[in-house]
Amino acid sequence: MKNVLIAPVGDNMDQLFLGLKEFPAERVILVSQHKDSNIANKTKEDLEKFKIASNIVYIEGNIWEESFRIVSETKELYKDQEIIINVITGNEDIRCAMTSAAFVNGIRAFTVQNDEVLMLPILKFSYYKILTDRKMQILKLLYGSDGNELNLETISNETKMSLPLISYHINGNLKSEGLKELGLVTSREEKGRSFIKLSNLGKLLVKGYFNQ
């Protein structure tokens, strides 16, 4: 079975075809910003010369959120095929976003260095499997705050959990990682009070863009 290859569009499109030699694909998903539409269309034409099907998916907003969305939706659409991401072809921001999206979705990804294809490590866990219902409840509450910080007292009142339990889920302990250590929330202290905010990673998780 041939692969479905996701490739961001940017400055290093010559590396796309080097990657295809190592990982032949029956379809290439070109992820492009609108400013790179000429490069995307030219690449699509080049792929057609080699009888490789392709389509262009444009990023319509935030690069990170859109990259996670596109990877998640592509994995679901082609769930019976092997998805691989070439993270070297795009510009710096989209390369970082695509690499992170590959990690949290458990998708194989590769880069190219000195004309050699190098595989990136795959995470062996799913956020959804290690998050309890109560941790998800906290994340969803923070998501509903429209990006605003919430203090521990407010979180406690809204979730009907005690303050020690809220602190445990956010900060964790030696046996269990908290939401902060997982990178899903951030916190700050002011006048002896803790204020919690959903991180970008946490927002993407709540929106369902992690699909392991």
How is 137-200 classified by DSSP, letter by letter? HHHHHHHTTTT--EEHHHHHHHHT--HHHHHHHHHB-SSSB-TTTTTSEEEEEETTEEEEEE-H
**DSSP-derived pairing of the beta strands 108-113 and 83-86:** parallel
Owner of token pair 């866990």 = 125
Q: Let me know how long the chain is.
A: 212
What are the two backbone dihedrals, phi and then psi, of residue 73, each rounded to the nearest 5 degrees? Answer: -70, -35
Query: pLDDT tens digits for 132-154?
Result: 999 999 999 999 998 899 999 99
- Other Cβ atoms less than 10 A from the Cβ of 40: the count is 24
Query: pLDDT tens digits for 25-55?
Result: 999 999 999 999 999 999 999 999 999 999 9
pTM of the complete model: 0.78
> Environment class of residue 1 by beta-carbon count within 10 Å: exposed (0-12), middle (13-18) or buried (19+)?
exposed
In angstroms, rounded to a whole number, what is the distance separating the alpha carbons of residues 38 and 111?
23
Is the pLDDT at 10 greater than 70? The verdict is yes
Could you tell me the domains of the chain? 3-119 (3.40.50.10770), 127-206 (1.10.10.10)
Q: Confidence class of residue 192 from pLDDT cuts 50, 70 and 90?
A: confident
Half-sphere exposure of residue 122: CA atoms within 13 angstroms, side-chain side: 13
